[in-house]
Every structure is written in C-alpha cells, then in structure tokens.
Chain A
C-alpha cells in the first residue's frame, strides 16, 4: 500500500520501466503527480525519478538554448542568459511552486495552466523525447496536438529553441487573483519589425484551448501590417478564430473570448 520510488540515470531504462508498469509515473516537481496521490488516486503505484545532470542543465550556445526537462521555474527566473523568459517563469504560481515546477512538467499541465509551454510554443521550441522507439525530436506544436496519444513510457528530456531578438518577445498572463493566480488567458508573441511594419509574427495563447495553441490566422493578419492602432485592430479581430476556450472556475468561455482582443491589442501596442 505504500508507493514505490524508483530512480534511473538512463532515460531509456526509465522509459522501459514506465512502459511496462501501468502504475508507474514520471515525477517532475510533484505539483501534479504527488497531488493526485494525496487526493486518493490509487492508480499511481510507483514514482519514477530520472536523475542526471543534463536534466537540470541550461545550455546556451550562440543563440540556441537547451533546457533540461528538470529545470525549475525558479532557476529560469534567475538565469541571466534567459532574462527575457523571467517574467514567464515568475508568473507560474508562487515561489514555492516555482522551486518545484519543471519545464517538462509544465508541458503536461492541463489548461488553464501550462503558461511556460505557451512561451515555448511561440519560440518554435523542439522537444526531445525518449521512448521505446529510441530518441526523437518533435516540434512543440505537434507535441501538444498528440500529447494525449504519446506512446507509454515516453519521456520529455529537454526542449530547445532559438533565443529571439531582445525586443521582439512579449508575454502577458491575465489572472483574477493577483499576483500569480491561474490564467484567464496568457499570450506570448515574437514580433519582428522593420521600418514600422511587422516583418514576422508568431503568437501563442494559453487557456484558450485544450493546450497552448498558435494563432495562425492572427499571425497571417499581422504579417506586413503597419504598427498603427487601426491596423493592429484589424489584425486582432481574427484572433478569436483559432481559439476554443473552456469555461472553468477561473473564467467562462464567453469572457475569455471577449477579453482576448483587448489584451492582445495592449500587448502588441506597447
């Protein structure tokens, strides 16, 4: 009746163990898994802890960043090379949650949570996956679309992305409880500008669908647009098209759709 605790240094071995035992689960910060056990989820019988320094490492080479899946939000918030991501990391729960919550874990958090994943999505991040089929990489968009269908024993070991130009990255998380409440919605954007026009735009939303999603219609409308209130307004009108938010204790579907354009406009117009 006690829960076993198993450690592995080799991701492949961990993957095999997880695939073979239905009651085994990979442990990150515990905010999701240990909570479930505390609340009486008897389907969980073994915690699997993956060890190894690379899991907790941040590597920056030129502009390529690699984050181990075990890197915590508090570590990111303090990393000088990732200063642009500090506001995102700092928006994930209070300090004690940030000490535990991991990059990998956040990718599996259910909407309206998972705001770090929103930022990673807009950064065109690529996920490193270990499974019985070996090692492979998957772009984050495809990962989110197939998150519930991953093969048993799949483990996210790292994410990598290219650091954006310093002024191009924007992020906002809207909560009712301030500071650091769960998201009504979150928006991450990488918008490059040349001579008063948008030369490239990537935008991702959190809490506006079952997973973080890219706003393709909005991106298309923004590309080439002049940075005037009128043109931003025109582009923002298409924002709600890529969304299907849920109603939950934080906000209703109607409210999320109603305020998304407002917060988008403010984010793009700064």
Chain B
C-alpha cells in the first residue's frame, strides 16, 4: 500500500512525512517524529495519557488520525521547556509532588496547558473538569489539582498564556 504525505507543525517545527494511511497521531508522533512523550496507556481514548494539543484544543492522539491533522499545529510536552527552562506547569508539578510513576504526567500537563491557555484563572471546578479525562493511579489527583491551581493564581499564568499562543 502506498504511503501518504502529511504535513503539520509539531512543537513549532514544520514536519513533512510519509505515513501508512490510517496511522494515528500517537503512532506518528512516537514512531515517525520520535517524540515519546505522549503515551499509549489504553489505546481506547479513555485514560488520557496520549493527550496532546491540536490547534490549541486537547485531543486524544491514540484515536485521532494523523491524516485529519494536516496543516495543524501540534503541541506535546517535549515543546514545553523552551531553552531548558521548565514551564511553570512543569515546575508546579515538581514542587507539589504531583508525579509518582510519571506515566500520566505528560497527558496531565497538556490537559492543564489547554485549560490555562484558554482560561488563565481557573477555579478548582475548572481544573477538575480540565483533568477529568486523565487517569492517575498513583497520586489520588489532589497534588496535581493543587499544582495546576498554584499556577492559575500566580503571575506565571501570564507567561503561560503568552507562551501558549504558538
């Protein structure tokens, strides 16, 4: 079967690749681009570990076709730490002990980023809703929610909104 061309921006970089048709965005990012940060926790679209941003919206890469993302803007956590400095959300998760095994962390960060890009001052209910599609089996969610809220109430959220506008 012939491969098909796809072109899109991934973390600010123009990418053009040939893929098998029917390839998911997750497989494309991990196998073609080499970005291993989105994870394959369930391949059902229920755990959220594959959460990435497509044109600013949170999407589940495991059930999204890369062919539906042509000319799109894709963001993963690999693009979050510009010039080696941690994004405020990453720093907040670190400071709040909001990661144990770390498998849900990339998805949580992208879901949180999607929230803060759209709403720099979310309340707790907003944060809970934003993370409601991301499963964590280790932390019990509370440290993660507190970490995201800490960014929402700090000045760092302004930087977040500015960085978010890719």
Binding site for B on A (CB under 8 A): 1-5, 27, 29-31, 34-35, 37-39, 47, 49, 74, 90, 93-97, 99-100, 179-180
Assess the A179–B62 pair: CB atoms within 8 A: no
Q: Which residue of B lies closest to A96 (CB)?
A: B58
> Contacts A94-B111, A96-B51, A97-B60 known; A38 to B133 CB distance under 8 Å?
no
Which of A38, A94, A179 sits near B134, CB closer than 8 Å? A94
Residues 63 to 109 of chain B near chain A (Cβ within 8 Å): 63-65, 67-68
Which of A1, A29, A90, A97 sits near B133, CB closer than 8 Å? A97
Which of B44, B57, B67, B131 sits near A35, CB closer than 8 Å? B44
Q: CB-CB < 8 A to B22: which residues of A?
A: 2-5, 37, 47
Listed by A's residue number, 11 A-B pairs whose Cβ atoms lie within 8 Å are A1-B1, A2-B21, A4-B21, A30-B64, A34-B45, A37-B22, A95-B111, A96-B45, A96-B48, A96-B58, A179-B125
Assess the A30–B48 pair: CB atoms within 8 A: no
- The reply on B114 being an interface residue by CB < 8 A is yes
Assess the A96–B67 pair: CB atoms within 8 A: no
> Contacts A2-B20, A95-B114, A179-B129 known; A34 to B1 CB distance under 8 Å?
no
Q: Which residue of B lies closest to A179 (CB)?
A: B132
**Binary CB contact string for chain B from 1 to 43 against chain A (1 if under 8 A, 0 otherwise):** 1001000000000000000111110000000000000000001
**Assembly CA distance A27 to B63 (angstroms):** 11
**Binary CB contact string for chain B from 101 to 141 against chain A (1 if under 8 A, 0 otherwise):** 00000000001001100000000010011111110000000
Q: Which residue of B lies closest to A40 (CB)?
A: B43
**Assembly CA distance A94 to B20 (angstroms):** 29
Least CB distance from B74 to A in Å reads 13
Q: Which residue of B lies closest to A46 (CB)?
A: B22
Which of B4, B60, B125, B128 sits near A96, CB closer than 8 Å? B60
Assess the A99–B59 pair: CB atoms within 8 A: yes
Size of the chain B interface, CB-CB below 8 angstroms: 34
Q: Which residue of B lies closest to A99 (CB)?
A: B57
**Assembly CA distance A96 to B115 (angstroms):** 11
Least CB distance from A53 to B in Å reads 16
**Assembly CA distance A49 to B134 (angstroms):** 27
> Contacts A2-B20, A35-B44, A179-B128 known; A95 to B58 CB distance under 8 Å?
yes
Q: CB-CB < 8 A to A95: which residues of B?
A: 57-58, 111, 114-115, 129-130, 132-133
**Assembly CA distance A96 to B61 (angstroms):** 9
Q: Which residue of A lies closest to B61 (CB)?
A: A96
**Assembly CA distance A31 to B43 (angstroms):** 10
Q: Given A31-B63, A35-B45, 14 other A-B contacts at CB below 8 A?
A: A2-B21, A2-B22, A30-B65, A34-B45, A34-B62, A35-B63, A38-B44, A38-B63, A94-B111, A94-B133, A97-B45, A100-B45, A100-B60, A179-B128
> Contacts A94-B131, A180-B132 known; A38 to B24 CB distance under 8 Å?
yes
Assess the A35–B114 pair: CB atoms within 8 A: no
Assess the B21–A34 pair: CB atoms within 8 A: no
Q: Which residue of A lies closest to B55 (CB)?
A: A99
**Assembly CA distance A39 to B114 (angstroms):** 28
Could you say which of A3, A94, A100 has the most chain B C-beta atoms within 10 Å of its C-beta?
A94
